[in-house]
Amino acid sequence: MAAPVSRTGARVERLPLARFTTLGVGGESEVWFVSDHAQLAEAMEQPYRILGGGSNLVIADEGVPERVIRLSGPLAERDLEPDPHLSTEGEIVTGWVGGGVPLPGLIRQLQKLGLSNLEGTVGIPAQVGGAVWMNAGTRYGEMFDGLHTIEIVTPQETRQVTPADLQWGYRDSGIPRNHVVSRVRLRLRPSTPEAVLEKMDFADNARKGQPKMKTPGCAFKNPGGVSAGRLIDEAGLKGTRAGNALIAPEHANFIVNLGGATAADVHALLDAIRARVPVPMELEYELWPERLPGLHSPGSQTTDPHQPDAHRDGPAT
Ligand code: FAD
Ligand code: EPU
């Protein structure tokens, strides 16, 4: 049976959100696949959340009551042709790149075209809109290195801004929550595929110590430039387990799903980290919803890795 379609033509389906997240956790919710501005406006008529690549999300096993908006169709397409009115000899400004475009494929394509500025974001499994919204990056570069114009949609208006209009910084675009990054124009520097690849390899190397299991990436932002992973490690928390979630032995700022983890398991580990690390750290993960009912149930107790029955090594994927 074909999926129901909204007044403006958006596909609307109840789906388990686990399949859209890199952690592999999240219950059934109403997903709106919107492919143009009219569909987006309709989806935003009721309370909503916006789902990108799901690579920073911990979603409750009950799902969420709000509409979950996912950009698709033309809002997940890219036009990388230089705009003749905006580009100069030393700088290429592209056509529109949809917020729903997967970032890894875009970065590979830019490398092949020999276009520089965004190669530092290699290996981030986001969509363009989600990566822009939180200015995803690494020590080798971030999204705002390569943005010219950002189109932002709210229930009230659609507006185009430049990075200079926003208070952006480390893992922060300055764009309020639930303002949708619908599409962007990239600002790129002509280079060669070889030179771009060399820089990408450098940034990729920094990931060698990261776990290869199901995870939403780093749990906490680095406070004042200090590695949150190092702080969690120094607190002795590597290998701490709650249910089927584990603080990764490879890198303490990653929580991994050993198979069958629940959102409550992840929340319990986040609480354990907050309780044991003496430095205040800002959460990087997005929790949907922010607090779970019945969090401190026996099923979400943590296991100290220094106790003999603690589970330290998860199965390889
Ligand atoms: P989601 O996880 O789907 O959503 C995250 C937030 O963005 C939510 O609030 C959501 O509402 C919002 N959002 C999503 N799309 C839009 C949109 N179009 N408009 C407005 N808001 C939107 N991050 C780094 O910065 N650097 C890294 O090196 C890095 N490495 C990672 C490695 C792994 C293996 C994993 C799993 C994650 C890693 N991350 C890293 C984290 C993650 O990729 C980033 O946080 C990324 O920006 C999330 O983007 P997303 O599209 O997956 O957003
Ligand atoms: N370290 C430890 N123990 C650990 C983890 C790290 O001692 O468990 C030490 C390392 O040995 C190293 C230092 O801490 O000396 C820094 O570690 P790493 O190079 O892994 O960098 P990071 O600061 O922990 C940041 C980003 C990652 C990004 C990498 C690579 C944050 C919160 N994390 O990690 O981003 O991939 O650099 O550039 O900024 C993300 O944001 O989700 C993410 C994965």
Residue pLDDT, tens place only, 85-123: 999 999 999 999 999 999 999 999 999 999 999 999 999
Judgement on whether residues 277 and 157 belong to the same structural domain of the protein? no
Nearest CA to ligand 1 atom 37: 217
Whether 49 and 15 map to the same domain: the answer is yes
Would you say residue 141 lies in a domain?
yes
Domain C-terminal end among 177, 205, 233: 205
Among residues 74, 90, 114, the one where a domain terminates is 74
Domain final residue, candidates 33, 50, 74: 74
Question: Are 200 and 91 members of one domain?
Answer: yes
Helix, strand, coil % in the chain, rounded to nearest 5: 25, 25, 50
Q: What is the pLDDT of residues 60-70, one digit of tens each?
A: 999 999 999 99
Mean pLDDT score, 250-270: 98
Q: What is the CATH number of the domain that holds 186?
A: 3.30.465.10
Ligand 1-lining residues (CB < 6 angstroms)? 22, 49-57, 71, 99, 124-127, 129-131, 133-134, 136-138, 171, 180-181, 215-217, 286
Q: Is residue 162 part of a domain?
A: yes
Q: Do 88 and 186 reside in the same domain of the chain?
A: yes
Going by their DSSP bridges, the two strands 241-242 and 245-247 should be labelled as antiparallel
Q: Which helix (H) or strand (E) holds 128?
A: helix 128-133
pLDDT of residue 314: 28
pLDDT (0 to 100) of residue 278:
95
Report yes or no on 275 lying in a domain.
yes
CATH number at residue 38: 3.30.43.10
Measuring CA to CA, which residue among 164, 168, 180 is closest to residue 137? 168
Domain that holds residue 51: 11-74
Domain total for the chain?
A: 3
Task: Tell me if residue 106 falls in helix, strand or coil.
Answer: helix
247 occurs within a structural domain: yes
**85 and 55, same structural domain?**
no
* Tokens (6 digits) for 65: 């009551």
CA distance 25 to 16: 9
Is a pLDDT exceeding 60 seen at residue 254? yes
This prediction's pTM: 0.94
